[in-house]
Amino acid sequence: MARGRKRKAGRRHPSGKLVQPSAAETQREAMATVLEARQRHYGVTARQARDERLGTALGRLAFGEVITSEQYAAGQKYAEIHHRHHAVLGWPMPFPASVTGILASDGVLGGSGAPPSRELVEKMRRHYGAVLDVLDQCDRDRLDAPGKAPSVLAYRLVCLDEDAGGWPQADLTNLALVLDALADLFGIARDAHRKVLT
């Protein structure tokens, strides 16, 4: 009977050492695994699995046409402002870490470690304050309506990446309302009379 570990499969150098895959090969293998998982989990074709929207709960609603492209863009902008505000002020980030990872790769997080300028802090407070005002107004508008508060739904979907596939229609209605209001704030919709956050 043979002793020791079972020999690992794979290509080998003449010395017998395993040939390590290149970074490109490793990345291709990882992407293939992701695409296969998306096909299996979401019931999409191989081509549809490449759609980047399937990577987030917000994007999956847009992919399934539960929300409009304008609402999707508003949700993305809300996530950006929320995370930038927290990063600039040094507040803890909500999970998932993948959103934080995206921001870090864009240079939003990390960096030199120098404190942010007063102008940047004031700008982020102003932008975040405007977002909070919109969320608060949506909550007040839907105070007696069925379903959860629009601000809670937006936070859970966009910032916590909570899957909304099983949400009741009342919650989806409230979510659409808050995303429309955020789209108005960010100037995403085409109406010329909407206020724009600058």
Q: Where are the alpha helices (DSSP H) in 14-159?
A: 23-42, 46-49, 57-63, 69-89, 97-105, 118-141, 150-154
Structure confidence by residue, pLDDT tens digits, 27-62: 777 777 877 887 787 777 888 877 888 888 899 999
The number of residues in the chain equals: 198
Mapped onto helix, strand or coil, the DSSP state of residue 181 is helix
Q: How many CB atoms lie within 10 A of CB 130?
A: 17
Type and span of the H or E element at 155: none
- Which CB contacts under 8 angstroms, 24+ apart, belong to 65-68? 66/164, 66/172, 67/175, 67/176, 67/179
Report the alpha-carbon distance of residue 38 to residue 1 in Å, rounded. 43
Q: What's residue 132's pLDDT? A: 94
Q: Could you tell me the residue ranges of all domains in the chain?
A: 15-50, 53-186
Please give the model's pTM, rounded to 2 decimal places.
0.69
